[in-house]
Amino acid sequence: MLRKLTRRDQLIHQFDTVLRTLVPHAAQPSRPSPAGATRDESLDEFERRHAAGLMRINHTGEVCAQALYQGQGLTAKLADTRAQMEQAAQEEIDHLAWCDARLVELDGRTSYLNPLFYAASFGMGALAGAVGDRLSLGFVNATEEQVGKHLDAHLEQLPRGDRRSREVLEQMREDEAHHARWALEAGGTRFPAPVKWGMSWMSKVMTRSVYRF
């Protein structure tokens, strides 16, 4: 018989997840990288640095997503919602690890701003979950839609020869679209356009700062 987790157990688990999210190369994926044996074409220095900047943005986006799901899972009221949040969070860990590995291949690094964005996203997720599951799920839907738009843009901006990054981003886009659909089907509310515009503005602030730092 499985032992019920105590509050202390849950806190230890949360702390372990924080470390795995924020410490470079600590996240372990449950699925192999979509890049597989795909080979890049030749990339010049500018293309390599540009690709690394884009993948750094995507890595930070996954840090935010992980924090969002952790915060929501902590305060979600329905057991089914918490379980779905945990499943989505595991897929986001895959994304996190894939982006991290790709950054290593491109001689890049993760963003120095990740702890700041993690804390902000965790707080927003916990607040949304505390208000109610419908709002929390709606927040997931709106967030994943924003992520999908970023991925579409990055797929267009990637250097033509960067095939490995492209494979990773295409799988991420598929997963994020699934998360967005699930959130609505589970009862999430659709956010009005002004709220989505505000979220889009904040995501632009994140992308512009993380590309460089």
45-60 mean pLDDT: 94
Instruction: Note the pLDDT of residue 2.
Output: 42
71 falls within a domain: yes
Q: Which of 26-35, 42-51, 125-134 has the lowest mean pLDDT?
A: 125-134
More confident residue, 127 or 169: 169
119 falls within a domain: yes
Percentage of the chain beyond pLDDT 70 is 85
Give the CATH number of the domain where residue 64 resides.
Answer: 1.20.1260.10
Q: Is 144 annotated as a binding residue?
A: yes
73 falls within a domain: yes
2 falls within a domain: no
70 falls within a domain: yes
Instruction: Note the pLDDT of residue 55.
Output: 94
138 falls within a domain: yes
Q: Does the pLDDT at position 72 exceed 90? A: no
Q: What tens digit of pLDDT does each residue of 81-115 get?
A: 666 767 777 778 899 999 999 999 999 999 999 99
Full residue range of the structural domain in which residue 114 is found:
43-212
Q: What tens digit of pLDDT does each residue of 130-188 get?
A: 777 787 788 788 888 888 888 999 999 999 999 999 999 999 999 888 888 888 887 77
Q: Is 41 annotated as a binding residue?
A: no
19 falls within a domain: no
Q: Is 150 annotated as a binding residue?
A: no
Question: How many structural domains is the chain composed of?
Answer: 1
Instruction: Note the pLDDT of residue 167.
Output: 95
Q: Is 92 annotated as a binding residue?
A: yes
Q: Is 86 annotated as a binding residue?
A: no
SS3 string of the chain? CCCCCCHHHHHHHHHHHHHHHHCCCCCCCCCCCCCCCCCCCCCCHHHHHHHHHHHHHHHHHHHHHHHHHHHHHHHCCCHHHHHHHHHHHHHHHHHHHHHHHHHHHCCCCCCCCHHHHHHHHHHHHHHHHHHCHHHHHHHHHHHHHHHHHHHHHHHHHCCCCCHHHHHHHHHHHHHHHHHHHHHHHCCCCCCCHHHHHHHHHHHHHHHHHHHHC
More confident residue, 10 or 63: 63
24 falls within a domain: no
32-41 mean pLDDT: 90
Q: Does the pLDDT at position 27 exceed 60? A: yes
